[in-house]
Amino acid sequence: MRRWPLLNSLRLRLLLGTLVWVLLAVLATGWALDGLFRQHIRAQFRAELGMHLDQLIAAVDFDAAGRPAVPAALSDPRFDKPYSGLYWQVDLLGGPERPGAAGALRSRSLWDQALDARAAPDGNERLYFDVAGPNGARLSMVSQIVHPAEEAAPVMRLMVAADQAAMAEPIERFMRMLTLSLGVLAVGLMLAAVGQVFLGLRPLGRLRRELAALRQGKKPQIEGVFPTELQPLVDDFNGVLSLNAEVVSRARAQAGNLAHALKTPLSVLSNAVAGDDTALGRLVDEQVGMARRQVDHHLMRARAAAAMQASGLRTLVDEPLRGLLRVMEKLYADKGLDLALAPCPPGLAFRGEEQDLQEMLGNVLDNACKWARRRIVIGVGADGRYLRFTVDDDGPGLPQDGYEAVFQRGVRADEQAPGSGLGLAIVKDLAGLYGGDVAASQSDLGGLRIVLRLPRID
């Protein structure tokens, strides 16, 4: 039992594989671009903080007593706007002769608050870290300890900090644009993948239609030009069909030659005992007749077996059946039989040769005409993948144990009636060769009903 029947579809496999890959590729691209953009914004943010710190270091001045001051405003006006999100601060670090002072100088934007310098690490190099700022905002800070050249000047820690919301806004804006762009790209790639799969597999659909037409007997071979990947397969398949047709033709020719070779001496024997009413003459004539029927039977089996190997066999049912009814009306004109054909659905076709269909229906109809008193009813219909032929007669019928025996070779319902007992046996053999069957039962007309099922083709 196949566990995942949908995955047997080549189209579905290609679509799922392509769509999953497109989705993963788009997600990975989005993740990588988001990470790169965040790194870029963070680096730019830190570079801007470093620039402001450089300006602050350059702006710090000292009076004669060594007290620091920032007499000139820095270039960014946000330093003068309270709680603008951009701040600077100068801490005086304590020494043996001078006490420290946190927030000795600070930007107007800090108003009455000071930056928490306790989180600032010691060291002369420039350091970046995060601290809590005014109104609970999260700040990114750059800090550097400066040792002025003036002897009276104190050691200072200069700090510049900015609200991290300034980084979040461009990142969010970029993410919205990135999500929209990658979404459009993903949809476009998926549509392209779907179109590519359906367009790429279209030749397989055309090949399937060609095979269906071949199976239905509409074409002898696959026609048309296919892609480079499929054309060798089509050529090989057509080569097999040609070889198969040649084998069937050769088998038919050999069957015809064998029939001619056997029937000629049989005809000589039959002519030799014609008019000979002796026991030997009658015996030879009877055996010659049986030999002829056996030859016809086995040649017919060989022809049917060869036909079953051929592709594209298709025989419409209506015309051969009506032709057989006309023949039976002439053969049994002295009995005045009423052969009634029920309405036949149009377009019913037998998957096999017309000669074999006539052989089977002819034997069934001949048996019905031989035993019917006045009336025979023939019905034809579709039974799934099969054709269903029903022949009812109003004859004497058969006992219950005779329904199977009547299809055995040499068995006759009445030994006094003419015949060899091969007719219905031939029908059973031929129907079996074609994958069909035949059965007998009691008819509603009082006689025998024969039901013949043969493979159907659209």
b/e per residue, 405-437, with b = 16+ CB within 10 A?
ebbeeeebbeeeeeebbbbbbbbbbbbebbebe
- pLDDT of 398-427, one tens digit each? 888 888 888 876 555 444 444 445 678 888
Task: Give CA–CA dist 398/412, Å, rounded.
Answer: 11
pLDDT at 299 over 70: no
Q: How confident is the model at residue 16 (pLDDT cuts 50, 70, 90)?
A: confident
User: Among the CATH numbers 3.30.160.100, 3.40.640.10, 3.30.565.10, 3.90.550.50, which is that of 315-457?
Assistant: 3.30.565.10
CA 240, CA 226: separation in Å to the nearest integer? 18
Task: Give the HSE-up count for residue 278: Cα atoms under 13 Å, Cβ half-sphere.
Answer: 6
Residue 3 scores a pLDDT above 60: no
- Cα–Cα distance for residue pair 249/255, rounded to 1 Å: 10
Closest CA to 360 of 275, 456, 264, 427: 427
**Interval 38-46 mean pLDDT:** 90
pLDDT attached to residue 119: 62
Q: How many residues does the chain have?
A: 458
pLDDT at 7: 62
Contact indicator for 101, 155 with CB cutoff of 8 Å: no
| Residue pLDDT, tens place only, 146-155 | 888 776 678 8
CA distances from 151 to 64, 122, 128, 147, 148 (A): 11, 22, 28, 10, 8
Q: Tell me: pLDDT of 309 over 80.
A: no
Q: Please enumerate in sequence order all residues whose Cβ is within 8 A of that of 104, keeping only pairs 6 or more positions apart, or say none.
A: 68, 90, 91, 92
Number of helices (H), then strands (E), belonging to the chain: the values are: 9, 14
Give me the amino acid identity at 263. K
SS3 of residue 171 by DSSP = helix
Q: Where are the domains of the chain?
A: 61-165, 234-309, 315-457
Which is more confident, 331 or 268? 331
Contact 74, 64 (CB under 8 A): no
Do 422 and 412 contact (CB within 8 A), yes or no? Answer: no
At 72-96, the pLDDT tens digits run: 788 888 988 998 889 998 888 865 4
- 3 state SS of 180: helix
Q: How far is 61 from 30, CA to CA, in rounded Å?
A: 49
Tell me, rounded to whole angstroms, the distance of Cα 140 from its chain centroid: 56
Distance of alpha carbon 456 from the chain centroid: 27
Distance CA 448, CA 458 (A): 30
Amino acid at the residue 186? A
Q: How many CB atoms lie within 10 A of CB 48?
A: 16
What pLDDT was estimated at residue 422? 64
Q: Are 209 and 223 in contact (CB under 8 A)?
A: no
Among 316, 342, 308, CA closest to 431: 308
Q: Are 372 and 447 in contact (CB under 8 A)?
A: yes
- Only one residue has tokens 């970046």, namely 128
Q: Which CATH class is domain 61-165?
A: alpha beta
Residue 301, pLDDT score: 61
pLDDT digits (tens, 9 = 90+) for 167-224: 888 888 999 999 999 999 999 998 988 888 888 888 888 888 888 877 766 677 888 8
